[in-house]
Amino acid sequence: MGAFFIPKIQDMIAITLPDGSRREFENPPSVYDVAASIGAGLAKATLAGKVDGELVDASKIIDRDASLEIVTEKSPEALDILRHSTAHLLAQAVQRKFPGAQVTIGPVIDTGFYYDFSYERQFTPEDLVVIEEEMRNIVKEALPLSRSVKSRDEAVAFFKGIGEHYKAEIIEGIPSNEDLSLYTQGEFTDLCRGPHVPSTDKLRAFKLMKVAGAYWRGNSDNEMLTRIYGTSWLNDKDLKAYLTLLEEAEKRDHRKIAKAQDLFHLQEEGPGLIFWHPKGWSIWQVVEQYMRNVYRKSGYQEVRCPQILDVSLWKRSGHWENYRENMFFTESEKRTYALKPMNCPGHVQVFNSGLHSYRDLPIRYGEFGACHRNEPSGALHGILRVRGFTQDDGHIFCTPEQVEGEVRDFHQQALDVYNAFGFTDIQIKIALRPEERLGDDATWDRAENALRDALRSAGVEWEELPGEGAFYGPKIEYHLKDAIGRTWQLGTMQVDFMMPERLGAEYVDANSQRVHPVMLHRAIVGSMERFIGILIEHHAGVFPTWLAPIQAVVMNITDSQNEYVAEAAKKLGDLGVRADKDIRNEKIGFKIREHTLHRVPYLLVVGDREREEGLVSVRTRAGEDLGTMTLEAFAERVKSEHAN
């Protein structure tokens, strides 16, 4: 009897879904196929997939047993995918409407995306209208996005062949053994890792925002390109909410409010440097004195260190190696000095000036230290991003056993301060070791775990940010939401085992051995300039009474009250109220409107009766009439607001 052939049964592909259920397929399915097997609604909603944790296109074929998560608009990854795909949509529309335009790079950013273009002229805001209209036409075409793979040399040849010399230059810098992915939609092809949406009709809620200049590869010696910024959202409701937020942010722009209220100005002769006016400096002093009191109560000793130091110190600290591109330098008598970008090396010198016992620790130094950093001119923004700034900087020198308690105490201090200034929605994050760093992994493990342990003991939940720590240590970051929902990163607490060793900081331990202390770098408001800018926008210039530069204005009705108005303003000043006088020959209604627009908390009106009885008629900037009261009673009212 002859042998007969038994065909081998093909292995099934098993796909495990997030709920633990399994689906089996005779042939390798795509992400879309799996979604379609679950339901037509899910298939329609599919944007991409996560195969064994890796983001992939919906068209990705799964040729092995794997876990799969379908990415829809409800997924946390959806927004970045949509924005990345909308950047490609922008580039295609530009090349349709402006033949000859070359694409360079087009990344996703916090609120959308941008793309840099080389063209015979700079694009204008008027061009954006034309480009956006073409983007919507491409959406209607529902062009599918397809992925292909080429070797580096094939990709270079391809982009040179279609006249995309910038893209070819980018690819030439990639190692030759890497395969590269390209994405095509209609006539447009771009280099990209992906993933992308399945087709252009998935992109609906977007808007082009502005144009700006940008040098090729960020080098001022290269060609100036046009950067087009856009925003993209999951739906029209989210887009509208974002545009409304921008309108509100425009009203709160600290630069406009500063000009209207005469707080500060900037000028070309000092880029990134601030000229504080009396009213703005009054706000500064309120913040500084408040913070000084917080530190004094918390056991900090205030110090003051030099503005410039020989570069030899910055080389020992590690700043020369890791930070010198952001530093300013000067020379004298054949020595090179650096303006300090940070206060920490100076504080170590104060610590090193004497011999310390473990019984002396922790030692806490604080300084309102002026720093300078050579920020790119294009990155400067009002007083939110500057070159010269002052930090509420402090450093704690302690034993390893004291780290947890010090971090926990600082955490509570920071929360109390933020609450006092009107911030109650606070997110905590830990920024972990960057690629370029000092020290070994074991030291970084100790530092990162010290921060985790401290937050855990304080009952705090946190998010971790891989790669975003300082070069000398990990840090806790405090992210605050303002009145319109924007997030600002302010305070930090950093654990540093490296700098004390590099700069020779030592104390004598219980065994009479000299050992290096742990150095904690901490700040609550961070840059004073930036914090005041945030306060201006958070309060929209309507400062609480305790923070307002002018708390009350005393105004006359007729010239017969001039002398009393001047006396009343002076007496209020003696009683601790920041008061001004207005005896201009203007109608009282005009004065009230003007000072209301300047957001002065209290408007004090004086007529003949108030003058004769030693009173003032009090109204708030909100228009509330509080009646008449003595100067002493009004001063007590203001003081009670301070106390609260």
- The tokens of 147 are what? 């992925």
Catalytic residue among 202, 254, 347, 373: 373
One of 254, 255, 521, 538 is an active-site residue; which one? Answer: 521
Candidates 415, 565, 580; CA nearest to 490 is: 415
399: nearest Cα among 442, 450, 327: 450
The one catalytic residue among 96, 344, 398, 496: 344
Q: What is the spatial distance between Cα 131 and Cα 116, in angstroms, rounded to a whole number? A: 14
Known catalytic residue at 395: yes
Could you tell me which of 259, 146, 162 has the C-alpha nearest to residue 194?
Answer: 146
394 forms bridges with which residues in the sheet?
A: 366, 522
CA gap 189, 192 in Å, rounded: 9
Which residue in the list 190, 393, 482, 582 is annotated as catalytic? 393
Is the alpha carbon torsion for 110, 113, 116, 122 positive or negative?
negative
Of 20, 24, 29, 30, the residue nearest 11 (C-alpha) = 24
User: Distance between CA atoms of 402 and 95, rounded to whole angstroms?
Assistant: 61
26, 165 Cβ separation under 8 angstroms: no
Secondary structure letter of residue 3 according to DSSP = -
In angstroms, the first-to-last Cα distance of the chain is 102
Query: Catalytic pick from 95, 102, 185, 391?
Result: 391
Beta strands in 326-387 (DSSP E): 329-332, 335-339, 363-372
* CB proximity list for 404: less than 8 A, separation 6 or greater: 450, 453, 454, 457
Residue type, 71: V
* Calpha distance 477→494 (Å, rounded): 9
Integer CA distances (angstroms), 430 to 135, 397, 551, in order: 40, 21, 39
Q: Are the C-beta atoms of residues 633 and 546 closer than 8 Å to each other?
A: no
State phi, psi for 625 to the nearest 5 degrees: -90, 115
Active-site residue 475, yes or no? yes
Burial of 75 (0-12, 13-18, 19+ CB in 10 A): middle
Token representation of residue 458: 């304080």
Residue closest to 554 by CA, chosen among 569, 573, 576: 569
- Tell me which of 255, 319, 364, 395 is the catalytic residue: 395
Residue pair 262/279 in contact (Cβ under 8 Å)? The answer is yes
Angle of the 403-420 helix axis to the 441-457 helix axis, nearest 10 = 60
- Locate the DSSP E strands across 538-614: 552-556, 579-582, 602-606
Q: Give the C-alpha separation, 601 to 476, whole Å.
A: 36
Tell me if residue 344 is catalytic: yes
Apex 244 CA angle, 243 and 249, nearest 5: 95
Out of 475, 530, 599, 621, the active site residue is 475
3-state secondary structure of 389: strand
Can you say whether the dihedral through the CA atoms of 311, 312, 313, 316 is positive or negative? positive
> Rounded to a whole number, what is the largest CA-CA distance in the chain?
132
Provide the H-helix boundaries in 187-305.
Answer: 236-251, 254-261, 278-297
The answer to whether 391 is a known catalytic residue is: yes
Give catalytic status of residue 305 as yes or no.
no
Q: CA–CA distance from 422 to each of 257, 393, 478, 536, 644 (Å)?
A: 19, 21, 15, 12, 12
Amino acid type, 183: Y
Please give the positions annotated as active site: 344, 373, 391, 393, 395, 475, 521
